[in-house]
Amino acid sequence: AVPGAFTPTCSAKHLPGYVEHFDEFRKRGIEVLCTAVNDPFVMQAWGRSQLIPDGLHLLPDGNAELARALGLEIDASGSGMGLRSRRYALYADDAVVKALFV
């Protein structure tokens, strides 16, 4: 997860790492999803601008429901961004969280 689509660090550093290693994840049978507190239209535009490969799914968390359910929300109101998600990587197997890196 990243705090927001089109933010400089998320666009230049975080998402490109997943794109770079996407084939390695797929070979291991790992489905890759990236979530951010944005609406579906923003996530779709971000994916196109970042040239993400087919199969790498961008998951909108428009109301920060996932971030809150995981206890990983942050208040970025001081930066004008409102409620956002922390940066994290989560590995789950059959809907059971096996590892969480924040």
Q: Which residues are catalytic?
A: 10
Asked if residue 75 belongs to a domain, the reply is yes
Asked if residue 102 belongs to a domain, the reply is no
Q: How far apart are CA 5 and CA 29, in angstroms?
A: 26
Asked if residue 82 belongs to a domain, the reply is yes
Asked if residue 52 belongs to a domain, the reply is yes
User: What pLDDT sits at residue 99?
Assistant: 96
Report the number of distinct structural domains present in the chain. 1
pTM: 0.89
Q: pLDDT, tens digit, for every residue of 41-86?
A: 999 999 999 999 999 999 999 999 999 999 999 999 999 999 999 9
Binned at pLDDT 50, 70 and 90, residue 17 comes out as very high
Q: What is the mean pLDDT of residues 10-30?
A: 95
Asked if residue 99 belongs to a domain, the reply is no
The whole-chain average pLDDT of the chain stands at 96
User: What pLDDT sits at residue 49?
Assistant: 96
Binned at pLDDT 50, 70 and 90, residue 31 comes out as very high
Q: Which domain holds residue 49?
A: 8-92
User: What pLDDT sits at residue 64?
Assistant: 97
Asked if residue 18 belongs to a domain, the reply is yes
Asked if residue 101 belongs to a domain, the reply is no
Beta bridge partners of 57: 33
What is the CATH classification number for the domain harbouring 73? 3.40.30.10
